[in-house]
Amino acid sequence: MKNVFIALGKAICYTLLFVLMQLIASFVVTLAMGIGYAVEQLTLNGGLDYNTLMTVLYDGVTTNATLITLVSNICTVGVLFAFFALRKKNLLSEINASPIPALTYVPLSIMGMCFAVLITFALGILPISEEVWEEYNQSASMIDSAGLIPMLSTVIFAPIAEETVFRGLVYTRLKRAMPAWVAAILQAAVFGALHGQILWVAYAFVMGLVLAAIVESTGSLFAGIAVHICFNLMGGYVMEHIFTESTALYIVLASIILMVAATRSAVRIAKSGKNI
């Protein structure tokens, strides 16, 4: 029982670090914008309207959400590297980020893209209320996907930071004190809950389970990162251009077939340790 509490404590600490970095990044951005606006208004008008200031701060946070996420994710990984370095440990070893054959990334990329297709299709056929969809669309509209910063944040640094924390640290620490399937469910539940909106929570939970299974079966966190990157790339930037009423069925069927084949191929290549 003691080991369980220790594992839970470590998992909670790593999760809190992830959340804390987001809060700090939000605070810094908000503070910078507030100071800039206040100085401008005091210089030009000699006064400051509190309600307008609050509106400016709120709009600033929502419109800079991807920048805040980018900064917080970079800081999270940086703090973790420093933390383990101070303890004379290697972060990559601690999160089981062991090298895998380069060829493995081909089926892993296919898995990520196919998984995004299947998640999108599942959301489309489930009996989800209009109220939930409206809430989802409202939340999604607050995230700017255009430009380099949103792409770097969503496609590159979010997967790296999230996999490092949840599959690399939370999952591995929990697995030391409980069955792997229990650890997988717990980390997926936390990962999902942190996504906030109910639909994001649901598919992030499923995604957390799938990514844990991928990391477990390949033996490396790099596999999970690769799948996560391609999932976000497909879902955020590619899907809208190819997924239509006329193509949906064919894309879904192809994704199912490719997902199965790619999964088997990725596991086989990763475990062989050879670029075959």
Give 55-100 pLDDT, tens digit per residue. Answer: 777 777 777 788 889 999 999 999 999 999 999 999 999 999 999 9
The reported pTM is: 0.90
Q: For residue 54, is pLDDT > 80?
A: no
8 A C-beta contact, residue 96 and residue 48: no
| Total residue length of the chain | 276
Q: What is the dihedral of CA 205, 207, 212, 218, to 10 degrees?
A: 170
- For residues 205 and 132, give the distance between their C-alpha atoms in angstroms, rounded to a whole number: 17
Asked if 230 and 108 touch (Cβ cutoff 8 Å), the reply is: yes
Alpha-carbon 196 to chain mean position: 12
**How far is Cα 141 from Cα 30, in angstroms, rounded to an integer?**
20
pLDDT surpassing 80 at residue 210: yes
- Whether 104 and 217 have beta carbons less than 8 Å apart is answered as no
Going by pLDDT thresholds of 50, 70 and 90, the confidence category of residue 205 is very high
> CA–CA separation, 110 vs 52, rounded Å?
48
Q: Is residue 210 a contact partner of residue 187, using CB atoms and an 8 Å limit?
A: no
Q: Which two tokens stand for residue 101?
A: 């054959």
> pLDDT digits over 116-159, tens only?
999 988 888 888 888 888 887 777 766 666 678 889 999 999 99
